[in-house]
Amino acid sequence: MASGQQWVLVEMVQAFYEAPAYHLILEGILILWIIRLLFSKTYKLHETYKLTEKEKEDLIEEWQPEPLVPPVSKDHPSLNYDIVTGPPSHKIIINGKECTNFASFNFLGLLDNERVKQKALASLKKYGVGTCGPRGFYGTFDVHLELESRLARFMKTEEAIIYSYGFATIASAIPAYSKRGDIIFVDEAACFSIQKGLQASRSFIKYFKHNDMEDLERLLKEQELEDQRNPRKARVTRKFIVVEGLYINTADICPLPELVELKYKYKVRIFLEESLSFGVLGEHGRGVTEHYGVNIDDIDLISANMENAVASIGGFCCGRSFVIDHQRLSGQGYCFSASLPPMLAAAAIEALNIMEEDPDIFAVLRKKCKHVYKALQGTPGLKLVGVPFAPALHLQLERSSGSRDSDMQLLRSLVDYCLEGQVALTLARYLEKEERFLPPPSIRVVVTIEQTEEDIQKLVSCIQEAVSANLK
Amino acid sequence: ECTDFHQHIQLLPYLAVKSSLCVTRLYSRPFIESFEETPMLVAVLTYMGYGILTIFGYLRDFLRHWKIERCHIAREREVQKDFVPLYQDFENFYTRNLYMRIRDNWNRPICSVPGAKMDLMERASHDYNWTFEYTGRVVQDVINLGSYNYLGFAENTGPCADSAAEVTMKYGVGVASTRQETGNLDRHEEMEKLVAKFLGVESAMAFGMGFATNSMNIPALAGKGCLILSDELNHASLVLGARLSGSIIRVFKHNNMQSLEKLLREAIVHGQPRTHRPWKKILIVVEGIYSMEGSIVHLPEVIALKKHYRAYLYLDEAHSIGALGPRGRGVVDYFGLDPCDVDVMMGTFTKSFGAAGGYIAGKRLIEYLRSHSHSAVYATSMSPPVVEQIITSMKCIMGEDGTAIGRERVRQLAENTVYFRKRLREMGFIIYGNNDSPVIPMMLYMPAKIGAFGREMLKRNIGVVVVGFPATPIIESRARFCISAAHTKDMLNRALSVISEVGDLLQLKYSRHRIQPSLARPFDDNVYEDIDD
């Protein structure tokens, strides 16, 4: 009621008159101080010095950036690519010269297979070339679904997921599961795409010496002690081990049974990268798990690219649905990128058909690998790095000259000599400044199923001649 | 108040003082963009909708936890139950409870060419989208408003498909080696020369995946001690590339030139954080067309800023190459600027060329990338038929195959875009973006309407793309139409009538600006005069 309100106001005014003077003065000073603080500028540490407009303009005038890219000299070794005219199959035409191919990762010889080409052609006539969209937006074709189910069936896992680029497969898979604060134990010889995946994940990375299970166990034990000190943090920190089946940098195999033991002992998950061993190891070509007879469910995620044995483009991950399904929404290379062109998926399906129909090719490939390994074993001046059943071996210099550049040049001259002798080899390429543990310079020797006895003989004699001609 | 249609003329305060450069002169043609503000009632209802869904989400989680409701979610292995859980429950809350309800709008499998019309495989779900079954039926001739097929090169007949078929039989499908080893085919070199000619720059280099082009090459261009100024709404690949490079990243407001200039000035004046050393270089990263907003970058202003402050410009033309400009050469052509002003031009072949992969082009840049790009050293090179498709389609657009098909398609796309946008606006929908961008986001706002719109359109044989959180801000979910040169007037009219019908059914006509339908004026051909190459 209005009169009631007025009455309260009168009381207030009366109280105001009746208050002692000092009280009013104190309150007045406080109110003025508050008003002053409200309107004064906030104190920023950063701008204790204020630059005038003129000084700012001068700084802007003076600033000179570096050139966008540093100049590259014309005879930089990685600048001049070898040009291949024609298909890179068993007989490859490099720089105009026809050679026997010991350099492309065409292990099962499927690059030139007529059936694969026909299937790709049929797919092209049905779907065109590109998919014009990512998987989520009308970029999923029935061929993709078929390829995924075939891969899952082939590897005897629940589910598989396809990527359109081999490099992006493991580099998108690792950050999908491992975030900031998680811990990843990785082998020193891990390939570059794994390193990029690790970098994108922002987790703690701990490297253990190549294939050294004791070193890994030591790191795991240290981590266990850490966990006991801080159990609350340990309950939410995920731990992973990332290894490759056949390492591309050192051509040897990881000790998978010991890794699985360590997995259950220390409760870490295993991610296995099988780009080199898919379609090579194992009785049916299922990779390193079949080679050792390990139960495939013990490995949390298997990732491989389809660019080596399968002779297509792209990559896949397979495992249990619990693990793989997560990547459909959080694998960056899957969600934000266009899907694999359907003709490449059709080619991969046909390659899988061939692999399933004729499992003898894996035994033949392994025999040829052993043969090449034995033949190259005693080359003077060069040492052979790898295991006998690895299809991609490395030839390193027995005695290094001390400088990487001169080693590379020497090896390049060996490769050039072999090209003249109609044997195609290649230097193993790395980004020198970006690799964490740079492997020594080497020549890559790739064994494929199409190589004959004579080809291997020619390879060995060519290399020996090259060494005696160029290495003093 | 609401932002109406307005000419985007911003007077850059510092530049205007420094030189008497009037910004209006930078734009040779009208630049009309609009982003109408969300109506207040709609915003409130949308938040309420999400609130109700969240409450139900908690309820369902509770029921699932106490086994009252059957749980469809995949489970960890028994023997690994005492491992640290692979996923935290709250990380997947959105996926389990909101995304699952409307999951049938995405990942729709198709079984034909993704052209103007496509065939979808029919899916049915009997357990509320947890699993799908294929009924075996094919939904034929669905109008495709979702695929990125701007110039209509997604086709299985015609010169592009024929030459790709030839190359498949000759070269095979795979390459099985990297560019630096034995994967460098003569076709790759020819394609790169053609791309450089198409863009009007010195040289170009191509890679197998558009996403990887950004994430592997930005680290090669910027490193520690550099600054990357990136637009708010940049694509995930640009963000990943910037993060992997190790430089400092600062974000400026979307397409806001004052924000960019302020950041540039601050950066140069104060130097690196804490040490105040001068920056090694500054890289501005923008996109040609932003696919979620449909907006076009203010390229003349960005170039003026870049020249004044001596920064470098990285332009990602994933959606705009082939789709903008009178000759289809992208956003640089659209504004009539000199391609040499852009330091790094990046684009993809997936959208307008019907192939796959990405490229980077520029001056004095490519030799460095040939030896230092991650992709050249470690990634398999592009498949030969894909390369052939790029070569043939690019020659077609340039007119080098002797026909006028390319030019006709570019013109048709522009006409379709203008027409479609005009009609949608006349109907009363809220459309975002620039008048000339073939990517058209139409606002839906409410979570239930996302699912409803997608399903209703499919019932009427039109395939659209709907997007919600997290690709867009939470209340701004939208449907996104991608116009193609392959769409005929009939298809567009049919699509428009269906959209209007569904819009009335779902009450989507939110716009408060009613445009009077203008008299049917033929498309103004004078805008795209014959320009000699």
- ipTM value, please give it: 0.90
CA pair distance B443, B99, nearest whole angstrom: 18
Banded pLDDT at B91 (limits 50, 70, 90): confident
Searching chain B, which residue's CA lies closest to the CA of residue A327? Answer: B87
Is the pLDDT at A42 greater than 80? The verdict is: no
Q: Which residue has the higher pLDDT, B252 or B35?
A: B252
pLDDT for residue B34: 84
Banded pLDDT at B176 (limits 50, 70, 90): confident
Write out pLDDT tens, residues B247-269.
999 999 999 999 999 999 999 98
A5 lies in some domain: no
Chain A residues whose beta carbon lies within 8 Å of the beta carbon of residue B370: 78-79, 81
Considering only CA atoms, which of B348, B360, B349, B355 is closest in space to residue B389? Answer: B355
Chain A residues whose beta carbon lies within 8 Å of the beta carbon of residue B144: 138
pLDDT for residue B218: 93
pLDDT for residue A196: 92
Beta strand pairing call for A423-424 and A97-101: parallel
For the residues A396-408, what does the mean pLDDT come to? 87
Is the bond preceding B470 in cis, omega lying within 30 degrees of 0? yes
Instruction: Give Cβ neighbours of residue B265 (< 8 Å, ≥ 6 apart).
Output: A56, A60, B14, B309
Of the residues A323, A357, A391, which one is the last residue of a structural domain?
A357
Considering only CA atoms, which of B465, B419, B448 is closest in space to residue B106? Answer: B465
Structure-derived torsion over alpha carbons of residues B13, B16, B22, B28, reported in degrees to the nearest 10: -60
Q: Is the same domain home to A173 and A237?
A: yes
Searching chain B, which residue's CA lies closest to the CA of residue A234? Answer: B84
Percentage of residues in chain A having pLDDT higher than 90:
61
Searching chain B, which residue's CA lies closest to the CA of residue A108? Answer: B176
Sign of the CA dihedral running B115, B117, B119, B122 = positive
Is A191 in the B-facing interface, judged by CB distances under 8 Å? yes
pLDDT for residue B11: 44
What is the pLDDT of chain B when averaged over all its residues? 87
Write out pLDDT tens, residues B66-76.
887 777 777 88
Chain B residues whose beta carbon lies within 8 Å of the beta carbon of residue A347: 173-174
Write out pLDDT tens, residues A311-335.
899 999 999 999 999 999 888 989 9
pLDDT for residue B14: 53
Write out pLDDT tens, residues B286-306.
999 998 999 999 999 999 999
pLDDT for residue A72: 83
Contacting A residues, span 291-310, partner chain B, CB-CB under 8 Å: 297, 305, 307-308, 310
Q: Is the same domain home to A308 and A201?
A: yes
List, in sequence order, every beta strand (DSSP E) within A235-349: 239-244, 269-273, 301-305, 315-319
Write out pLDDT tens, residues B454-480.
999 999 999 999 998 888 888 899 999
Best residue in B122, B123, B133, B182 for a mutation probing chain A (most A CBs within 10 Å): B182
Q: Is the same domain home to A260 and A312?
A: yes
- Give Cα A99 distance to the centre of its chain: 31
| Homologous superfamily (CATH) for B34-144+404-510 | Aspartate Aminotransferase, domain 1 (3.90.1150.10)
Is A139 in the B-facing interface, judged by CB distances under 8 Å? yes
Q: Is the same domain home to A203 and A127?
A: yes
Q: What is the CATH number of the domain that holds A460?
A: 3.90.1150.10
Best residue in A49, A116, A126, A138 for a mutation probing chain B (most B CBs within 10 Å): A138
CB-CB contact of B350 with A165 (8 Å): no
Taking an 8 Å cut-off on Cβ atoms, the answer to whether B377 and A444 are in contact is no
Chain B residues whose beta carbon lies within 8 Å of the beta carbon of residue A312: 173-174
Distances (CA, A) of B273 to B269, B281, B311: 11, 14, 18
Number of domains in chain A: 2
Best residue in A58, A81, A177, A271 for a mutation probing chain B (most B CBs within 10 Å): A81
Write out pLDDT tens, residues A171-201.
999 999 999 999 999 999 999 999 999 999 9
Is A416 in the B-facing interface, judged by CB distances under 8 Å? no
Sheet containing B282-287: give its strands across. B203-207, B358-362, B344-348, B312-316, B282-287, B227-231, B248-252
Domain span at residue A385 reads 80-105+359-470
For the residues A267-277, what does the mean pLDDT come to? 93
Segments making up each domain of chain B, as ranges: 34-144+404-510, 159-398
Q: Is the same domain home to A344 and A384?
A: no
Chain A residues whose beta carbon lies within 8 Å of the beta carbon of residue B371: 72, 76, 78-79
Distance from CA of B521 to the nearest CA of A (A): 32
Q: Is the same domain home to A366 and A390?
A: yes
3-state DSSP percent of chain B in helix, strand and coil, to 5: 40, 15, 40
Q: What is the CATH number of the domain that holds A183?
A: 3.40.640.10
Q: Is the same domain home to A456 and A366?
A: yes
Phi, psi at residue B358, to the nearest 5°?
-140, 170
Percentage of residues in chain A having pLDDT higher than 70:
97
Q: Which residue has the higher pLDDT, A186 or A1?
A: A186
Structure tokens at B213: 């082009």
Q: Is the same domain home to A367 and A351?
A: no
Is the pLDDT at B13 greater than 70? The verdict is: no
Write out pLDDT tens, residues B386-435.
999 999 999 999 988 888 899 999 999 999 999 999 999 999 999 999 99
Of the residues A341, A357, A373, which one is the last residue of a structural domain?
A357
What is the pLDDT of chain A when averaged over all its residues? 90
Q: Is the same domain home to A407 and A436?
A: yes
Is the pLDDT at B86 greater than 70? The verdict is: yes
For the residues B360-366, what does the mean pLDDT come to? 90
Q: Is the same domain home to A346 and A331?
A: yes
A99 lies in some domain: yes
pLDDT for residue B21: 43
Is A65 in the B-facing interface, judged by CB distances under 8 Å? yes
For the residues B358-376, what does the mean pLDDT come to? 90
Bridge partners (DSSP) of residue B287 are B316
pLDDT for residue A76: 78
Instruction: Give Cβ neighbours of residue B258 (< 8 Å, ≥ 6 apart).
Output: B10, B12, B13
Taking an 8 Å cut-off on Cβ atoms, the answer to whether A347 and B173 are in contact is yes
DSSP summary character for residue B11: -
Distance from CA of A344 to the nearest CA of B (A): 7
Q: Is the same domain home to A140 and A279?
A: yes
Structure tokens at A451: 């190589």
For the residues B320-347, what does the mean pLDDT come to? 92
Neighbours of A138 (CB within 10 A): 30
Q: Is the same domain home to A312 and A178?
A: yes
Q: Which residue has the higher pLDDT, B2 or B498?
A: B498
Taking an 8 Å cut-off on Cβ atoms, the answer to whether A165 and B212 are in contact is yes
pLDDT for residue B414: 93
Chain A residues whose beta carbon lies within 8 Å of the beta carbon of residue B462: none
Searching chain B, which residue's CA lies closest to the CA of residue A237? Answer: B84
The alpha carbons of chain B give a radius of gyration, in whole angstroms, of: 24
Query: Which of B174, B178, B189 shows the shortest C-beta gap to A83?
Result: B189
pLDDT for residue B143: 94
Contacting A residues, span 164-183, partner chain B, CB-CB under 8 Å: 164-168, 177
The domain defined by B159-398 folds into Aspartate Aminotransferase; domain 2 (3.40.640)
A63 lies in some domain: no
Banded pLDDT at B130 (limits 50, 70, 90): confident
For A243, how many CA atoms within 13 A lie in the half-sphere containing its CB?
A: 27
Chain A residues whose beta carbon lies within 8 Å of the beta carbon of residue B122: none
Burial tier of A425 (Cβ tally within 10 Å: 0-12, 13-18, 19+): buried
pLDDT for residue B24: 55
Is A344 in the B-facing interface, judged by CB distances under 8 Å? yes
